[in-house]
Copies of this chain bind each other. A is one copy, B any other.
Amino acid sequence: MEINIKEQEILDAARNRFAHYGFSKVTMDEIASDVGLGKASLYYYFPTKEELFKSVINEEQKLFVDEIEKLFCRKMSAENKLRNYVRKRLEYFRELVNLGTLNLHTLVDIKLMFKGLFEDFEQKELALIRKILDEGKINGEFDSKVNQTTTKIFLHLVQGLRLRIIKYNKDKRMDKDNYDELKEEMSVFIEIFVKGIKA
């Protein structure tokens, strides 16, 4: 799907607004005015705020997948690719939380609203992780027993650590402390995991 210049301009303005004020506080009027369009013209491109938001998220997901795919062209151990994956995935999580105005429960609502979008993304994530694990298996870094279940477990462990932060978060917001905690947990986790699947 090609995105034309005006659409891209709208998406950039919307991402900017959402990241600053969160989904619920942003109006279509504001976005229209940011890009010098009348409201009617904006609705021509995106019939609802939800549609616009969905496109912003979709774009963010694509950027993340692109970043990870770029790793495959680099001379780097599979082990380091997996480390990079976890690091970049955490950054992407933070961005997504920011789009929903740092409110973690909004994020859960958003995921329910755009279920299909997140399910597709999960399939892409699985494919990327699998590619990294397979690479490490082929080049002898990882255990030959590494398989599809290992891929799934890896994804689920990472998802679980994020979910815990969302669930047990007292004021339902993601502040710097939560992020730092998650970051530390991810970095300890990835070292144990990498060692745990070594050949």
Chain A: interface residue count, which band?
A: 20 to 34
Q: Does A153 lie within 8 Å of B189, measured CB to CB?
A: yes
Residue interface mask A145-176, B partner, CB < 8 A = 1: 00001101100110111111001000000000
Residue of B nearest to A163 (CB): B163
**A192 beta carbon closer than 8 Å to chain B:** yes
Copies in the complex: 2
A1 to B159, CA, bound (A): 40
Interface of A is mostly: helix
Is A184 positioned at the interface, with any CB of B under 8 Å from its CB?
Answer: yes
Q: How far is the CA of A177 from the CA of B159 in the complex (A)?
A: 20
Out of B159, B160, B188, B196, which one reaches A192, CB within 8 Å?
A: B196
How many angstroms from the CA of A48 to the CA of B195 in the assembled complex?
51
Chain B residues with CB below 8 A from A164, complex form = 156, 159-160, 163
Give 8 new A-B contacts, CB below 8 A, not counting A150-B188, A152-B185, A159-B164: A149-B184, A153-B185, A153-B192, A156-B185, A157-B189, A160-B161, A160-B163, A196-B196
